[in-house]
Every structure is written in structure tokens, then in C-alpha cells.
Amino acid sequence: MSEHDVAAIRTLAGLATPMALRVCVTLGLPDRLREEPADAARIASEMSVSPTALELLLDHLATLGIIEHTGTGYRTTEFGATLCSDAGNGLTNFLHLDMAGGRAELAFTDLLQSITTGNAAYPVRYGQDFWADLARYPTLRESFDHQMTDRFRDQIPRIVTGYNWGRFRSIVDVGGGHGTLLAAILAAYPLLRGHLIDLAPTAHEAATAFSAHRVQDRVQVTARSFFEPLPTGADAYLLCDILHDWDDEHARHILARCVEAARPGGRVLVIEPVGGRHAATEFNLAMLVIFGSRERRVDEFRALASAHGLVLDTVTDLTDQRCLLEFRLTDHS
């Protein structure tokens, strides 16, 4: 192995840079140093951190191009501004150690536990699973909701145009979060009616999206777990980025709720990355360590759903990241 190869592996494996970026965001350094340059002593005083240690961090961030030295101290670069809280790219949530995304990423330190057992590493680190953590800490729940909205905001137009939603009269968005996807679908199809299901207060925030799209008169919101009975009689039940957050047992339970609620001839629509098709290997590991799940392959979806009388009719590539799998109920067709 060449010295270049060794150096490349060290770079890939090193934890200093990823953790430096996370601490940088958690301290709010990109925002602070964008407004006004300052030296390490002044920033340390403002943030109640060690000035000596902070200077080590700032020097490494300067090496990375996140900040730069000026005559009056450190300043955020144009590249570093990508990490500012108002950048609107979701990176703050992904990196901030006190937000859902950044907190969950640290479960990777127990990846060996997940590989050994096949179970989530998140409870090993935090003493309870991801969902119990969100229920206990409202700020985590809020940041998770925003993360889910940010994660596929740019893909919504292609999701709306890539499938004929108008074939249905009614659709239930199961675990629909803040309602951004359902609002866009309803806006594009004026004859369609919707019903969003999610936990409070997440579900209550959906009213903003529905009002913004002027579809509030065609949608209903219910604060409820998708492990409980769902509203009955809809043409379609939509699960967008839901099943990959759960192991097979819980995923089957969610599908069972959809099946028992659907009207005769109804459909269950699953939108998420599909293993071997539109699923990044890195994100697949994240599903494992955080949730004890994975990005399932088509045959795994087919087997998961067949237990409930669901037959996979079509798989549609909506974006470069997500597919739509359409299931029909064989006992009702």
C-alpha cells in the first residue's frame, strides 16, 4: 500500500474534522463570526468556553476554509456561511449536537453494536430509542419535524408531477408531518381531498402549509399515532419516509393499520429510498444505527406487504432518491 493510500484512509477515518464541524455549528460560530470578526479570547468569553481550546478549534476550521484570519480576528468565509442557521439547507439540524439529526448521528460511535446484533445503537448511547427521546424532549421533536420537511423539500415538485394523484378522490397522509407534501398534492389536484395523521403538536403545525397552498377547505388533520386505527374509507393511504424508520415488526403493524382502514379497491402508496435502486449506502447504515432498520429492497417490500394481502403493482422512480411503490389490496380488488 502506498503512502498516498495510507493518508487517504486516515482522512476517511479521522474523527477530528467531522466533530469539529459539529461543535462549530453547536456553538453557533458561523453565525457569530459572519456578523463581526473577533479573536479567540473575545469569542471564548462570550460563549463561556476555554480560550486555548477554542483557538485550536478555530485554527482547524480555518484550515478547512470555514473561517479565515483577518486583521481583526476570525471571520466566516463564504464557504463557511453554508453552515449558518439561516442557510436553509438543513445542515444545522444535521450537525448540531442538541438537535435531532446531530444527536442521532453520534449513535454511529456504537456501530459495532448494531453490526453485531442487528439492532439500533441509539438506545445504547441514550438509554432509550429515538422515538422515546423525541417524546421526552420537545425541542428534539421540533427539530426532527423541520429536518423531515427540509430533507425532501426540493423533491416535492417531482413527486407531485411524477405520479397521477388525480386518480384518487381521497388520500390519507399517514405520518404526514407538517403537511408540505400533501398540501402540494392537493394544490395540484383540485378535486382531491386529504386527511393528515401525525402526533400532536406536529400535526397541528400542518395548518400553516395547508393555508399557504389554499387547500385548507379540502383537508382534515387528526393528531394520532399511526399505530392506532386510521380514518377509514379513503382511496389511498400514503406512507412517505415512514417504513424505513421502523424494523419489520413495526412496519407490518403500520401496513396493517392502512389495510384495515382502506376502502374496497384502495391503495397503499409507499414513498422512500429503495435498496439497490435509490438508497445511499451511508444512509442505509444511518437507518440501522438510529432505528434498527434499513432501506428495503423491492423484494423485501413485497414480502413485508404480502402478509396483509397487499400486492405490489408498480414501482415508479420519482426522483434520484425516492421511489413510489403502489400496493393494492387483493382481498378487496
**pLDDT tens per residue across span 90-105:** 899 999 999 999 999 9
Cβ atoms of residues 191 and 167 within 8 Å: no
Q: Are residues 146 and 162 in the same domain?
A: no
Q: Would you say the C-alpha torsion 292, 153, 89, 196 has a positive or negative sign? A: negative
* Residue 42 dihedral angles phi and psi, to the nearest 5°: -65, -45
pLDDT in tens, 306-327: 989 899 999 999 998 899 999 9
Residue in the block written with cell 477530528 = 16
Instruction: Please tell me whether residues 110 and 38 are part of one structural domain.
Output: no
User: Could you tell me the pLDDT band of residue 332, with boundaries at 50, 70 and 90?
Assistant: very low
pLDDT at 3: 84
Can you give the CATH number for the domain in which 48 is found? 1.10.10.10
The candidate with the shortest Cα–Cα distance to 269, out of 178, 141, 148, 181, is 181
> Is pLDDT above 70 for 67?
yes
Q: What is the mean pLDDT of residues 248-267?
A: 94
Q: For the chain, what is the domain count?
A: 3
Distances (CA, A) of 62 to 65, 214, 299, 300: 5, 46, 48, 46
Q: Who wins on pLDDT, 332 or 50?
A: 50
CA dihedral of 135, 139, 141, 145, whole degrees rounded to 10: 170
| Catalytic position from the list 244, 250, 253, 308 | 244
Q: What whole-number distance in Å separates Cα of residue 140 and Cα of residue 150?
A: 15
Q: Tell me the mean pLDDT in the region 76-93.
A: 93
Q: What percent of the chain has pLDDT over 70?
A: 99
**Domain membership of residue 37 as a residue range:** 3-83
Residues 123 and 223 in one domain: no
157-167 confidence digits (pLDDT tens): 999 999 999 99
Enter the C-alpha cell of residue 287: 437507518
- In degrees and rounded to multiples of 5, residue 55 shows phi and psi of -65, -35
Same domain, 212 and 317: yes
- How does residue 331 score in pLDDT terms, banded at 50, 70 and 90? low
C-alpha dihedral (180, 184, 190, 195), degrees to nearest 10: -30
244 catalytically annotated: yes
pLDDT in tens, 4-62: 888 889 888 999 999 999 999 999 999 999 989 999 999 999 999 999 999 999 999 99
Shared-domain flag, residues 173 and 302:
yes
Q: Which amino acid is at 156?
A: I
2 has pLDDT over 90: no
